[in-house]
Structure formats: C-alpha cells, structure tokens
Structure 1
C-alpha cells in the first residue's frame, strides 16, 4: 500500500477528553499459564514503515521517539514506491522523493534509533543486479548487516487478478505503452502472473546471496483469507498465487511476506479481527510445507504492512495495534511493521471517536496538515497507536517468553510475558467503550511476591501513566484502555533454574487405516543448560484452548514417543526442564503439528480451492480409488476446520452439512469408482466468515483416505 501525505499546514492541540461517568466494574476471570510458552519475543519484532516521499522521515526528534516506543525495526523505502524506486539515484520513477530521504539518510536514522532495517528491493521496475548492488553497499561496503530483504511490494496487484496498482515492467504492454489489463487486449499475451514473479525471485535470490550469503531474501505471498488469496486466472495463474510461487521456489523458499489490513465495517468488528491471525499463520505453514516441501519452522514470516484502517488515530486503533502485534508474535511471526511513520490526514471529514478527534491519518506521527477542514496537531505529535506500541515495552522485551492466557470476556483481551528477570507482565485490554472490568487473575505456575506496578494508556491520553497496588490478584481496567501489570515473583526462572529447553520438533508422523486414533510421532528437543543443580527431568505439556495445558509425561531424556493421536487433529506441545531441587525452567517455544492420514490407504482425496470472493469460495474434490476392487455407492465425509465455513451448493453428488460435518453421497451416474486409479470429481461453492482452511482428513465409506 502507498498512502501519500499532503502538504504541511498549521497545527492545533488535541482537544481535551471528558471522562465518562464512573460505573461499577464487571468481574472477568483471566488465566495466565506461566508454563505454557508461546515462544520468545524476537529481536526486530516491533516494526514501522517509512517512505521516501515523507519529508519528515528523518527529523531530529524521530530517533528518540522511536527508541522510547521500543520500535526496533524500520522498513524502507515505502509501500508501492518500492517498485518504482532506484536506491542508487534516489529517484522514484513517476513519484516524488522528498529531500534527505536517500538510503544513507534512512540508515542514519535507523542506526540512531537502534533499529534493524528491512529493505524492499525494486522488483517492478528494477533488476536483480540493482538489488545485488544494494546488498553490496549495505552489508559489504558499510557493514550494516541487514538481514531481511523483500523482493517487491504487493506484486500480485500488478493486474494479474484485474486490479492494477503495483508497477511491474515484466507485464506485456499495450500499443500505448501502458500495462495490459486482463481482458482489455485479447490479442496480447499477459505475462505478469505468479510464475513470472517466482522466476524473478529466484534470480534475485541468486544475485543477492552471491553478495551476502547469510541474508534472507523474502517472497511476497497473498494473505490467507484476504483478496486475492486463492483467486485464479486461467491465462496467467491457473493455480493460486501462493501455490504457484511456493512450488517454484521449493527448497529456496527463504522467508515470506504478507500484509494485513483487516478493516471491518466498524471499530467493534475490527477489534475482533486479530482472532483470525492464528488461522492465517497455520495456513501459511501448511502451504509452505505442502507446496514448497520445506519445514515451515525454518521459513520466517514477516508482516511488513499493517494498520487498523478504521479510527486510525484514536483508541480503537491503539487497542487493535497492541492486540495485533502480540497475536502475530505469539504465533511465531518474526516481524510486524505498522503503516506508517508519517502519512498525512485523509480527505474525508474525520470523525470524533469516543470524545477524541480522528484525522484519518495512517501515520503514528502527525505532519500538521489539513486535508479535510480539521487541522492536525503539531508535527511529530504521536497518535494513539504510538502509545499502544510504547506500552508493549512494559510487557516484554526481545528474548522474553510469551505465555498462554485466557479471558472470560471477549471484550477483555489478554497477553502475558515471562520476563528474563523472573517477573510476569500481563497486558489487559478493555475494548468496551462504555464499561469498566475487574480482571481476577489466576496465575498458574507463578508465585507473586511484592507490589505490582500498573502502566496504563487511557482513552485520549498523551502519555502512559503508572501506579502501584498491593495485590496481584486483580486489576480494574477503565473503558477503552490498555493496562500492563508487572508482577514481581518467581516460578520458572531465577538464579538456580535451568535454561529453557529448545523448541521441540516432531518426526516420524504417521497413522494407519485401522482406526481414527492411530497417529504416532516422536517429539525431540534440545537439552536445557543446567543451573545451580542438574536437570532431573523434562515436563512435556499439551497446550489446549482457553489457556490451559496438560502434563502428559516427565521423561528424563530429550525425546518422547507419542501415540493414540487423532488423524487430522492438530496438537501443540512445549517442554519445561526441572532440576533436582524442583526448580522449573521457562517453557520452551511450542511446536504445533497436524496428524496426517495414512499414506498407504486404498483411497486418496485431492482438495483444491478454485476461486474466492468476500464471504465465499469455490472448490473441487477428486476421489481416487487406489485399491484393487471397485468402490460402489460411495459416501464422502469430512469436517470444515473453521466454524464459518459451509457448503452453499454442490454438484456431482448430494451434499448435506450438519454443524461443521459434511456428507456427500454419490449421484446415480458416478456411484462407482473404478479400481486401480479410477476417479470421481466433485465441486462446490461455499460461504465463509473469514478464512477457509482446507479439511485435514477425508473418509470414503468410513475409510480414511490419503491426501493426494
């Protein structure tokens, strides 16, 4: 995306906010499971976009403001401008480059702020050689050690699927010299699709890694559940963008990029969107494994653009931002970058949100402009999302361990972090604009000691306030507020505790046709470093929904054989080391896996999504008989993984659905599937409320089938 700010005009101060009348707080049960680790906070996790058209990008106050907020990554040169920008000349073809925004200027700010740069090289109008020269300048000549490099911005927006906002010189051009739109030039060959992009990425990887072999060169993917994910084009994209790109990259899949602008129709809807993030990441991992054929744990995922899109400068955006950042990181993403540093106000008449003036500005800092009759505050005044990001510094720091939580009210979002020094920090977001809540804290695997400190960003605030309280058993949070409670104590670290075990891996996953609960596998993990006392054993926990976990075994070694797993089910495990004096370590990062159907089944099913649109999708299913006898009067059964998925209509069979379970019975003309490779093809249109992940297990006449 490329949101371009307007010229600088006068400034006014943000109007004061009248506090709502006091109301009795409603009790909410909040559980924190300090032994259920969700991984450590990565370095360079909390990022921000910059743009070469932003004349305030490198203002003198910026490094200090970024450092104070804990922003530790900066993306450059800015959205769609990346695909028209020549870093050597500091010229954006057809665009505007503000003074003092060249790469050297950007790096001065990035280094002064202590941030890790993320660079988007020009795929649209650039070349692999130009990108390689950038790596040479950055990492060889100047020793910046920049690790993450994107190949292009939103390249799927080059017209492949009908929408054309991203420059791409690889496309066939019309007689007028402009890009060809699908369908507008029937006699032209349109060559911009995902296959062309994937071929280009391979060239960029080769050229850039020849200069610096340890960098990550990242491919652009569509975000699962968001247009144009799973959309196809019979001319240039017969398979989806992600399937085509990942298959072409294969073992060279180095890291992947998605963007996240969930929107929603109003603030309340937008604030529910981060609940989709676990499904997005799970789908990306499945696609990487299925199409690229590599271990998704070794492929970093970066979210290099995101914003609330609603009430962008006020408290709903702050609430969304904090919850969104933590949700991505808890699901293993290594970097999330807000759009953006400065952007400028929108042109529509801005709203007053919960007593606070919004400006329709996608930046975290004002540029003092007036595009709609309402003048922004003085240049570099932070908007509400800035303070939400700053509050995350009170929650955790790179290297701290995120842990599992649960809330008894959907309007009260909770995230928690075990700090390196032994304390526990809990973020409590009240997304209710009218009511206060008292969060009653149940802290499992952690013993508080001492007085907690509370840090709060209130609606309409211009800073984060702090106070102390005597008890860690509860905290009351005001409407539309974000609070971090820092609780001193112990329960998983300390001078005598062992180090956390390494992230578990799973191997030898298999199942058989003899039953649904025949899945087996082997968990393995790296041994913990001993503290004062030797490690006595390891506690292996299965993590469940609702913040809970179950101790399944306490082996003395670093492996555990699993059995009785349900085919098609997903499981999450982590490990805690315990020394000979009973001192537990911090939990390891978790591992999540899905039990595969048996590869040697007598039937196989191929499932594919052929198209998608807001609120719906279409797909095809192919049944294959691998046995030596014909299958007569077949019945196919499967379950949708997401509650919002449903069959709207189907063909080549009779389709019914009960809850999430789908049954398809044969039509009269296709009731027999011939032996030794005979097939039957089905199709359907479905509805969804967001994501539409693929079913994990299919059954024909009660026999579980292999995935084909």
Structure 2
C-alpha cells in the first residue's frame, strides 16, 4: 500500500495489557502477541490498535474500571519502545461496558472513559457500535436496558416479540454522553445523591455565570440552563458540562500621549498598556471608516511614510479607546489644527516696512517695492490639510537660513 501511496498509515492490532488474551503464549510461539507483532511489524507500522471491554456486574464496579486506562496505555507504549524501538501512537477502535449498556451507567462510563483516554494521549476512540440488537432485558436505575452495544436503537425484540427496543434510531443514554463529551463532562456517579462541587481555575478567570449542559438519568435529551462558574451541583447519575466565557476586562489603556520622535516622515505614538500581552491596534480615520496602520503588544507604535509639510490633527490629541475581546483599538477624532504660516525667504539687502497706522499686513497694492533689479516676492500659497497621526514638517524646505 505504501508503495502506491506513501501517505497511507498502517496500524498493528495489539492486545490490551491486563485483558484477555494478553500474555498468552501458545505452543510454538516466540512470545506473547504484542512481543511478536511489535518485533516483526513494529518498525514499519504507524500506530498501534487496542480494544477494551472491561467487566463489571453493577454500576460502581463498571465505573471504576476507567482507573485502569492510564496503566494499560503506558504499558503499550513501553512495549512499543522495547520491541519496535519507537514510540507508537495508540488508537482504541472498540470500547463498551458490560453493565447498563443502554442506560445511565453506560453513559457515565462512556463519558469518563473517552475523556480519560484522550487525557492519556490516545488519538482516537471508537464506541462499539452504532446499532446492535438486544441480548437481554432488565431494569437499571429505573430505566429499561436491552443489553445492546449500539448507541442507537435497532428496534429489535426479545421473547418472541413481547419485549422490544424503542423505535429505530432512538438514541440511548451513551449517545447523549458522547455528545456531551465533545465539550467535556463531569459525571455525577452517585446513583442516589446529588454532589456539590467547587471549581478552581489556573491561569484563567471566567465570567461569574456559565452555560450549564446537563443529562440526567432517564432524560431524553441534553438540557441547557444558566449557573455559576465557581460552583455547581451534580445531580445523581448525571453528566454536567459548564461552558465558560472569559471575564470581561474592566481596565482600558490610558489615552495616548502627544506623538514623540517626530521626523519629516514618521512619528511615534505611546500609551500606557492596560495589561501585559494585550494587543493594541492603531487606526487612522478615513471618512466614515478607519484604516489600520499596525498593531503591537507593546506600549508604542511608530507611524512611517507620512507626507511632509502637511497639517495634522495633533494639537490637543484625545485618544478614544474601545475594546473587543482581547484586542484594543485606538481611533482619533477627525479635526484639523491649522499650522502657523510658514516663514518666507527674503534677500538680506531688503527689509520690508510696516505702515505705522495699522497692525494689519500691507495689502498687495500697498506692499513696498522690491529693490531695483529684483522681482517682487509673492505671498506663500495655502497648503492643503489632511488627517494624520503626527505633526510633521519638512524643516529643510521651511527653515529660515
């Protein structure tokens, strides 16, 4: 197969340590199944396959079997290292319980087993199976159980058709448990009493309220309510999932200060960050929208490629900060602060006179004449204005020598 498609991955079926037929050596065998298979095929296969059907004659006994998962997963890895000389990923392609297959004990086992297998690095877990006919009938935790391995009803019957499963494809309790396991579930394994629990979080601060998903004994579906994130109560024989949201940030960064480090083409904007690692986005208003100039988790940002000799909204800056999630955005009002008139170059030999009766500049008709042989100097033209993030000026073209 790999010669045709090198991306194909091949798994080797192994026995689950501690469960039949692990450890059996028949006449003529060079060792146990895992020893022989891993020694021969281990170097070329991509992962190992195990199957697990733990025994138990009642709820507490069957639910306690999940304590074995960490040990048998560790032992499979050790055998792969010893005989195949490499670390093999592990897939569990069949698992089910022997008690309460269609009722709440099976649901609690399914949720606990799948979550524990995932926590121990098993990369895939397959529940056996989707449909399976009934094998016997009993009442477990007050609910009918037909001892069928399927997640969904096969609508099969027992005792000549007098005892039948529900309608075809009706979900059994383990189906709802696996649906909740996709968001993680905490099982309440006591069949008779509720249990109050408190919740601690490391490196995370949740909002005070949480969405609570629940599946209780005999229910036909998953319920959704609102509860607290610091504590909850697990009903008897139940599954509970809390969907958390991060605590809303109350602190926002201070308004940015006046731009610094101004040159003819760039300026640096600085602020006091609200918390370490918060991302700040720097935006420039453009009409009714904004244009993002950049982002940083630091406390300053340098704007490049600004046009020289432009009027800018810089005097009396007041930054307006808004926050969405973990992103912080700064915008600025579209106002224009005029720049002072630019100085004019004048010949050293010519000094203008000012009318003694008026403080207003002379009009073009009364302006003093230029020295002989020189062309009168025109007043400077007005420059256009535009929004920008810093007051910049081309000093080389405007400074008086």
Pick the TM interval, shorter chain.
0.5 to 0.7
Q: Equivalences for 1:506-521 in 2 at 5 Å? A: none
**CA deviation profile, 1:117-170 (whole Å, cap 9, x unmatched):** xxxxxxxxxxxxxxxxxxxxxxxxxxxxxxxxxxxxxxxxxxxxxxxxxxxxxx
> Are the counterparts in 2 of residues 359 and 374 from structure 1 also a CA contact under 8 Å?
no
Q: TM-score, normalised by structure 2?
A: 0.61
Q: 1:231 to 1:266 in 2, by over 3 A?
A: same
2:359 alignment partner in structure 1: none
1:367 aligns with 2:154: yes
> Are the counterparts in 2 of residues 496 and 532 from structure 1 also a CA contact under 8 Å?
no
1:481 alignment partner in structure 2: 238
Q: Kindly state the Cα deviation for residue 433 of structure 1 after the two structures are TM-superposed.
A: 0.4
Q: Kindly state the Cα deviation for residue 475 of structure 1 after the two structures are TM-superposed.
A: 0.2
Task: Provide the secondary structure at the position in 2 that maps to 1:439.
Answer: strand
Measure, in 2, the Cα distance between the counterparts of 1:434 and 1:288.
43
1:279 aligns with 2:66: no
Q: Equivalences for 1:114-263 in 2 at 5 Å? A: 208-235=1-28, 237-263=29-55
Measure, in 1, the Cα distance between the counterparts of 2:16 and 2:124.
15
Q: 1:489 to 1:363 in 2, by over 3 A?
A: same
1:354 aligns with 2:141: yes
Q: 1:384 aligns with which of 139, 160, 173?
A: 173
1:290 alignment partner in structure 2: 82
Q: 1:367 to 1:495 in 2, by over 3 A?
A: farther
Q: Kindly state the Cα deviation for residue 450 of structure 1 after the two structures are TM-superposed.
A: 4.2
Q: Kindly state the Cα deviation for residue 304 of structure 1 after the two structures are TM-superposed.
A: 0.6
Q: Which runs of 5 or more structure 2 residues have no equivalent in the other structure?
A: 249-274, 280-294, 299-325, 327-401
Q: Equivalences for 1:303-702 in 2 at 5 Å? A: 303-346=92-135, 348=136, 350-372=137-159, 373-395=162-184, 427-469=185-227, 471-489=228-246, 496=277, 533=297
Measure, in 2, the Cα distance between the counterparts of 1:262 and 1:220.
18
Measure, in 2, the Cα distance between the counterparts of 1:340 and 1:495.
49
Measure, in 2, the Cα distance between the counterparts of 1:322 and 1:336.
11
Measure, in 1, the Cα distance between the counterparts of 2:51 and 2:42.
22
Measure, in 1, the Cα distance between the counterparts of 2:42 and 2:104.
43
Q: Kindly state the Cα deviation for residue 366 of structure 1 after the two structures are TM-superposed.
A: 0.7
Q: 1:270 aligns with which of 62, 70, 73?
A: 62
> Are the counterparts in 2 of residues 495 and 532 from structure 1 also a CA contact under 8 Å?
no
> Are the counterparts in 1 of residues 39 and 83 from structure 2 also a CA contact under 8 Å?
yes
Measure, in 2, the Cα distance between the counterparts of 1:288 and 1:497.
45
Which structure is higher in strand share? 1
Measure, in 2, the Cα distance between the counterparts of 1:345 and 1:305.
18
Q: Kindly state the Cα deviation for residue 308 of structure 1 after the two structures are TM-superposed.
A: 1.0
Measure, in 2, the Cα distance between the counterparts of 1:342 and 1:312.
12
Measure, in 2, the Cα distance between the counterparts of 1:495 and 1:319.
41
Q: 1:251 to 1:495 in 2, by over 3 A?
A: farther
> Are the counterparts in 2 of residues 221 and 256 from structure 1 also a CA contact under 8 Å?
yes
> Are the counterparts in 2 of residues 394 and 455 from structure 1 also a CA contact under 8 Å?
no
Task: Provide the secondary structure at the position in 2 that maps to 1:264.
Answer: coil
Task: Provide the secondary structure at the position in 2 that maps to 1:443.
Answer: coil
> Are the counterparts in 1 of residues 197 and 231 from structure 2 also a CA contact under 8 Å?
yes
Q: Which runs of 5 or more structure 1 residues have no equivalent in the other structure?
A: 1-207, 396-426, 499-530, 535-582, 584-708
2:393 alignment partner in structure 1: none
Task: Provide the secondary structure at the position in 2 that maps to 1:394.
Answer: coil
Measure, in 2, the Cα distance between the counterparts of 1:321 and 1:254.
27
Task: Provide the secondary structure at the position in 2 that maps to 1:386.
Answer: helix
Measure, in 2, the Cα distance between the counterparts of 1:394 and 1:217.
30
Measure, in 2, the Cα distance between the counterparts of 1:327 and 1:270.
15
Q: 1:351 to 1:443 in 2, by over 3 A?
A: same
Q: Kindly state the Cα deviation for residue 477 of structure 1 after the two structures are TM-superposed.
A: 1.0
Give the structure, 1 or 2, with the largest relative contact order (CA under 8 Å, sep 6 or more).
Answer: 1
Q: What is the total number of aligned residue pairs between the two structures?
A: 256
Q: TM-score, normalised by structure 1?
A: 0.35
Q: Kindly state the Cα deviation for residue 310 of structure 1 after the two structures are TM-superposed.
A: 1.2
